[in-house]
Chain A
Amino acid sequence: EPEVTQTPSHQVTQMGQEVILRCVPISNHLYFYWYRQILGQKVEFLVSFYNNEISEKSEIFDDQFSVERPDGSNFTLKIRSTKLEDSAMYFCASTGTEAFFGQGTRLTVV
């Protein structure tokens, strides 16, 4: 069974700090994504990444956010100057035909 791996599983950070969430997508997939889920709410799309560039981003994905694929395996989401409302579960996904999700990183901003 193919697997998307995310680290860390939990992250607590102080407001205003920068965090980097990491993901290892499935190796032969071409599309990579970040989604987030605020507690009790829908899973929301943040950004998609294809061929080493952003292919689509949502209104949520403003200048505070950035994504990178620094090498052949990792895919990262950086959140600069975190705010309380950034507290959420962040999911990485990759797709061939089917979308596979990681177990998520629970980010708590205090």
Chain B
Amino acid sequence: KQEVTQIPAALSVPEGENLVLNCSFTDSAIYNLQWFRQDPGKGLTSLLLIQSSQREQTSGRLNASLDKSSGRSTLYIAASQPGDSATYLCAVRDTGFQKLVFGTGTRLLVSP
């Protein structure tokens, strides 16, 4: 059974810092991995999608990497801003089934 873990659970940084969020998963037979952003009481916004054959994806200040063999992904946020404050969720999609399995998230607070 796929298990997804995210560390740290919470992170507080001053504006402008570069930061790394970590995601690990137990079964490397994945179809793809997605990073989402969730604002309090809101839905899930897709940030980046990495296919199992890819090593990384970039969108603006965000860069996500995938090391499938070791069961790890990282989300790198450059030059953080207060507007980046949210919970970041990692989710993997298994090859056999189509559902996403979510981690518990990293709650990020960027202070001005």
Interface string of A1-45 (1 = CB under 8 A from B): 000000000000000000000000000000101010000011111
Complex interface: chain A residues within 8 A of B34 (CB): 98-99
B102 touches A48 (CB 8 A): no
CB <8 Å contact, B100 and A106: no
Q: What is the interface residue range for chain B against chain A? A: 20 to 34
Q: When each residue 47-90 of chain A gets 1 if its CB lies under 8 Å from chain B and 0 otherwise, what string results? A: 01010000110000000000000000000000000000000010
Q: Is the CB of B60 closer than 8 A to any CB of chain A?
A: no
Interface of A is mostly: strand
B44, B51, B101 interface centre (most CB from chain A within 10 Å):
B44
With A45-B99, A98-B49 already in contact, the answer to whether A91 and B104 are too (CB < 8 A) is: no
B49 CB contacts on chain A under 8 angstroms: 97-98
Contacts of A108 in B (CB 8 A): none
Q: Are A99 and B103 in contact (CB under 8 A)?
A: no
Residues in chain A near residue B45, CB distance under 8 A: 101
In the complex, residue of chain A having the shortest beta-carbon distance to the beta carbon of B32: A97
B42 and A42 form a contact (CB under 8 A): no
**Nearest Cβ on chain A to B60's Cβ, whole angstroms:** 15
Q: In angstroms, how far is the closest chain A Cβ from the Cβ of B80?
A: 24
Which interface residue of B45, B89, B91, B99 has the most chain A CB atoms within 10 A? B99
Q: How far is the CB of A36 from chain B (nearest CB, A)?
A: 11
Closest to A40 in B: B104
A97-B49, A99-B93 are known contacts. Are A104 and B100 too (CB-CB below 8 A)?
A: no
Q: How far is the CB of A12 from chain B (nearest CB, A)?
A: 15
Quick one: closest B residue to A102, CB to CB?
Answer: B43
- For A35, A42, A100, the residue with the greatest tally of chain B CB atoms inside 10 Å of its CB is A42
Closest to B43 in A: A103
